[in-house]
Amino acid sequence: MSALVDAVAARRTPIAQAQKEIKDFATSLPPEQVATKMTMLVQGMFDHMDAERSHVISGISRYAHKQLEMAAQLRKEASEVDALRAKADADPDEVERRTDQLNFATRIFNERVQSLTYVCDVPTIIEQRLYQLSKTVSETLAVKK
C-alpha cells in the first residue's frame, strides 16, 4: 500500500498513469476488500501529500524570510552607493565596483522573486493532484458497487 501511495502521489508520475495504477489496484482486489483498501489508499495519499505540502510551505516561508533579509541588505547597499556617489572626492573605480555589485545582487534578488512565484504554486498543485486522485478512487468505488 505504501509503495502505491508513494507512486501515485509523486508529482513526477503523470496523473493519467497514477489514475490507471489506482484503477488497476482496485481491480486486483477481492470484492469484499475494495472499500476498505481504497479507503486506506485515500488516507495514505492524504497523509503523504499533506506532509509534502507542509514541507513545501515551510520551505516557502524560509525562502521568503531570506528574501526580506536580502531586500533590507540591498536597500542598505543602495544607500551606501548613493552616499559614495555624492562625495566629491569619491574614487570612480570604487563607485563603479560597488554599483556593479549592487546591480548583480539586485538581479539575483529579482530572479529569486520570479522563482518564489513558481514555488508558491506547488502547494496548490499538490492539492489539485490529491483531489484528482481521490476523485478517481471515488469513481472506481462507484463502479464497483
What are phi and psi for residue 46, nearest 5 degrees? Answer: -60, -50
Tens of pLDDT, residue by residue over 60-91, are: 999 999 999 999 999 999 999 999 999 989 89
Across 109-119, average pLDDT: 90
How high does pLDDT run on average in the chain? 94
Distances (CA, A) of 58 to 65, 71, 89, 143: 11, 20, 48, 39
Written as nine digits, the cell of 17 is 498513469
Helix, strand or coil for residue 10?
coil
Residue type, 25: F
Residue-number span of the structural domain to which 27 is assigned: 2-144
Across 99-113, average pLDDT: 95
In this predicted structure, what is the pLDDT of residue 57? 95
In this predicted structure, what is the pLDDT of residue 49? 97
Task: Look up cell 533579509; give the residue.
Answer: 69
In this predicted structure, what is the pLDDT of residue 144? 65
Tens of pLDDT, residue by residue over 18-56, are: 999 999 999 999 999 999 999 999 999 999 999 999 999
Residue 145 has pLDDT above 80, yes or no: no
How many structural domains does the chain have?
1
Across 136-144, average pLDDT: 88
Alpha carbon distance 18, 9 (integer Å): 8
